Chain A
Amino acid sequence: DAGITQSPRHKVTETGTPVTLRCHQTENHRYMYWYRQDPGHGLRLIHYSYGVKDTDKGEVSDGYSVSRSKTEDFLLTLESATSSQTSVYFCAISDPLVDITTGELFFGEGSRLTVL
């Protein structure tokens, strides 16, 4: 199994508070991603990173920011959480130079966030 850990795994917070989710990998993979998964929507990309300090927006980036100061860590921040951000958040990694035939994604175990 790919070495990906997410923290916290569960969090309950109140509307308007800041929240940071952390993804840590031990695989030295170049690409890291944050997805959210909601019933009826499937997995949707929030932001991704293609290297240290190199990030870009995904499909549903509004209300989220990210940072990657080290290869192994990718942080997702909700500056002011809203109830619509209640979701399960998955971090994923890939490196087409390693998984050269596919560039497949390896997922972390997910972080369940509830915003009251």
Chain B
Amino acid sequence: GQNIDQPTEMTATEGAIVQINCTYQTSGFNGLFWYQQHAGEAPTFLSYNVLDGLEEKGRFSSFLSRSKGYSYLLLKELQMKDSASYLCAVHSGAGSYQLTFGKGTKLSVIP
């Protein structure tokens, strides 16, 4: 089976740094994705990790440890527009390209 866990809600202050964790237990692994979803909108792609380590993309970074089944999304210099849900998703591979999503973490950025 597939199990992906992430915190339900987080609150952080504008200008600060926040780390959103994701742990997964899946039958296979072929990559981990982070998506951002603003309220009432579609999810949009943020990052992809398939090898261990840190991937940096501007204010956002994503880390993966395959041996621990663990990833985090790091958001720096938080802005009000970063208030959104952040979805962790795993591609378990095995010939199909479907993703299994966690329930999402709703991040609220406060002044």
Spell out A's residues near B (CB within 8 Å): 31, 33, 35, 40-45, 48, 50, 56, 58-59, 90, 94, 96, 101-110
As a 0/1 sequence over residues 28 to 56 of chain B, the CB contacts with chain A under 8 angstroms (1 = contact) are: 00010101000001111100100000000
Decide if A110 touches B42 in the complex (CB within 8 Å): yes
Spell out B's residues near A (CB within 8 Å): 31, 33, 35, 41-45, 48, 87, 89, 91, 96-104
List the A side residues contacting B91 at CB < 8 Å: 103
Decide if B104 touches A42 in the complex (CB within 8 Å): yes
List the A side residues contacting B98 at CB < 8 Å: 33, 45, 48, 58
Decide if A102 touches B101 in the complex (CB within 8 Å): no
Decide if A50 touches B41 in the complex (CB within 8 Å): no
Decide if B97 touches A103 in the complex (CB within 8 Å): yes
Contacts A41-B103, A43-B101 given: A102-B43 contact, CB under 8 Å?
Answer: no
Decide if B42 touches A107 in the complex (CB within 8 Å): yes
Contacts A40-B103, A102-B31, A107-B43 given: A56-B96 contact, CB under 8 Å?
Answer: yes
Looking at the assembled complex, report how far the CB atom of A2 sits from the nearest CB atom of chain B, in whole angstroms. 10
A-B contact pairs, 18 of them (CB 8 A): A41-B103, A42-B87, A42-B101, A42-B102, A42-B103, A43-B89, A45-B98, A45-B99, A48-B98, A50-B97, A90-B43, A96-B97, A102-B33, A103-B97, A104-B33, A105-B33, A105-B43, A107-B43
A108 CA to B44 CA in the complex, in Å? Answer: 10
Among B42, B89, B96, point to the contact of A90 (Cβ < 8 A).
B42
List the A side residues contacting B42 at CB < 8 Å: 90, 107-110
List the B side residues contacting A41 at CB < 8 Å: 103
Closest Cβ neighbor of A101 among chain B residues: B48
List the B side residues contacting A59 at CB < 8 Å: 100
